[in-house]
């Protein structure tokens, strides 16, 4: 058994050997606690037939645990300085492929097709860079990848928003977008002390399991998300006011907005955060013909 990468001593050794310095702009925080990594992997329920996709492997701490627990790992790393480090630290594992690319600019579906042939069960497992957590998640969800789900570490505040229920202060368009595609739950809270360098915030691990089909049937998905973003435009305002200011030509279409709200049995003086995903589905279907 190889010595774990995720210990303070081994991490410092690797960083020293390569003269590596952390780039703040890339949100680099490496995990130095193997128990945390073992738990993350456990929540992904991988088998020796599974594949894992990782984003931002760093020096390979989580990658190593994934490699020991599944058939193949494909990791996207944006920082060219880490490529030789990963080749070294992960040399014991023949089932790892590192791709030196920005995940946001990658055709992930194509990579899966090329690298995961014959693998039916695929999970995205990653300690996501905090500054781009939301764009990465939304891209991977919109791309409709052939994956079972995601077990991802992120800033606690974003995790709370993703898993929020209607009527709570964290509930917003992000909650709806993620819960439209997946069932979402926080499975772990992670203290800042297990990272090097320590971030300023606590972290949570969220498990998202892809739904067989969305909880609502909508005429147009993009329009649903346009409506939800508009509805949360200004949190103090009513749904009616927010839709007017947030929808294209909303001011000119006041009457159509009122009619749609009335047709769905939604009081125009309610606030966006009180609407369930089902209500947003009905509302976007009712508004859609007037905005297209």
- DSSP per-residue codes, the chain: -PPPS-SHHHHHHHHHHTT----GGGT--EE--HHHHHHHHHHTT--TT-EEEEE--TTTHHHHHHHHHSSEEEEE---GGGHHHHHHHTTT-TTEEEE-S-GGGS-HHHHHHHH-TT---EEEEEE--GGGHHHHHHHHHHTT-S-SEEEEEEEHHHHHHHTPPTTSTT-SHHHHHHHHHEEEEEEEEE-GGGEESPPSS-EEEEEEEE-SS-SS--S-HHHHHHHHHHHTSSTTSBHHHHHHHHSTTTGGGHHHHHHHHHHTT--TTSBGGG--HHHHHHHHHHHGGGG-
Using CA atoms, how far apart are residues 38 and 62, in angstroms rounded to an integer?
Answer: 8
Residues 32 and 95 grouped into a single domain: yes
Residues 227 and 281 grouped into a single domain: yes
Residues 70 and 182 grouped into a single domain: yes
Residue 129 within any structural domain of the chain: yes
Residue 47 within any structural domain of the chain: yes
Residues 157 and 108 grouped into a single domain: yes
- The pLDDT, as a whole number, for residue 243 is 97
Residue 27 within any structural domain of the chain: yes
Residues 203 and 242 grouped into a single domain: no
- Residue-range definition of the domain harbouring residue 92: 8-210
- The pLDDT, as a whole number, for residue 52 is 98
Residue 1 within any structural domain of the chain: no
- The pLDDT, as a whole number, for residue 102 is 96
Residue 216 within any structural domain of the chain: no
- The pLDDT, as a whole number, for residue 241 is 97
Q: Tokens representing 217? A: 């049937």
Residue written as token pair 């680099």: 28
Residues 80 and 225 grouped into a single domain: no
Residue 282 within any structural domain of the chain: yes
Q: Tokens representing 115? A: 């690298």
Q: What is the CATH number of the domain that holds 22?
A: 3.40.50.150
Residue 126 within any structural domain of the chain: yes
Q: Among residues 210, 242, 272, which one ends one of the domains?
A: 210
Residues 12 and 108 grouped into a single domain: yes
Q: Tokens representing 111? A: 């990579």
Q: Among residues 179, 210, 241, which one ends one of the domains?
A: 210
Residue 2 within any structural domain of the chain: no
Residues 128 and 55 grouped into a single domain: yes
Residues 234 and 151 grouped into a single domain: no
Using CA atoms, how far apart are residues 176 and 161, in angstroms rounded to an integer?
Answer: 9
Residues 100 and 245 grouped into a single domain: no
Enumerate the known binding-site residues for S-adenosyl-L-methionine: 29, 31, 56, 77, 102, 127
Q: Among residues 188, 210, 232, which one ends one of the domains?
A: 210
Residues 163 and 226 grouped into a single domain: no
Enumerate the known binding-site residues: 29, 31, 56, 77, 102, 127
Q: What is the CATH number of the domain that holds 254?
A: 1.10.8.100
Tens of pLDDT along the chain (292 residues) come to 578 999 999 999 999 999 988 777 677 889 999 999 999 999 999 999 999 999 999 999 999 999 999 999 999 999 999 999 999 999 999 999 999 999 999 999 999 999 999 999 999 999 998 889 999 999 999 999 999 999 999 999 999 999 999 999 999 999 999 999 999 999 999 999 999 988 889 999 999 999 999 999 999 999 999 999 999 999 889 999 999 999 999 999 999 999 999 999 999 999 999 999 999 999 999 999 999 8
The pLDDT tens digits of the residues spanning 71-125 come to 999 999 999 999 999 999 999 999 999 999 999 999 999 999 999 999 999 999 9
pTM above 0.85, yes or no: yes
How many domains is the chain built from?
Answer: 2
- The pLDDT, as a whole number, for residue 22 is 79
Residues 127 and 163 grouped into a single domain: yes
């Amino acid at each position: 058994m190889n010595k774990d990468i995720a210990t303070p001593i081994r991490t410092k050794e690797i960083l020293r050997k390569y003269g590596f310095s952390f780039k703040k702009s890339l949100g680099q925080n490496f995990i130095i606690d193997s128990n945390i990594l073992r738990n993350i992997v456990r929540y992904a329920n991988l088998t020796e037939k599974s594949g894992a996709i990782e984003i931002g492997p760093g020096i390979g701490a989580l990658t190593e645990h994934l490699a020991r627990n599944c058939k193949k790992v494909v990791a996207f790393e944006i920082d060219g300085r880490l490529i030789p480090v990963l080749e070294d630290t992960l040399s014991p594992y023949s089932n790892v492929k590192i791709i030196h690319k920005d995940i946001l600019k990658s055709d992930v579906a194509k990579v899966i097709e090329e690298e995961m042939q014959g693998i039916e069960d695929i999970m995205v497992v990653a300690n996501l860079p905090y500054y781009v957590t939301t764009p990465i998640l939304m891209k991977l969800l919109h791309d409709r990848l052939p994956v079972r789900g995601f077990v991802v570490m992120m800033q606690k505040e974003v995790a709370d928003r993703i898993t929020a229920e209607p009527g709570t202060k964290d509930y917003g368009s992000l909650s709806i977008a993620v819960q439209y595609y997946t069932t979402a739950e926080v499975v772990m809270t992670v203290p800042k002390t297990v990272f090097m360098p320590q971030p300023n915030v606590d972290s949570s691990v969220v498990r998202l399991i892809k739904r067989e089909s969305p909880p609502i049937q909508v005429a147009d998905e993009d329009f649903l998300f346009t409506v939800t973003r508009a509805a949360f435009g200004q949190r103090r305002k009513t749904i009616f006011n927010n839709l007017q200011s947030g929808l294209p030509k909303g001011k000119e279409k006041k009457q159509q907005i009122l009619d749609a709200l009335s047709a769905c049995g939604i009081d125009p003086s309610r606030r966006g955060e009180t609407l369930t995903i089902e209500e947003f589905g009905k509302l976007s279907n009712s508004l859609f013909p007037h905005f297209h």
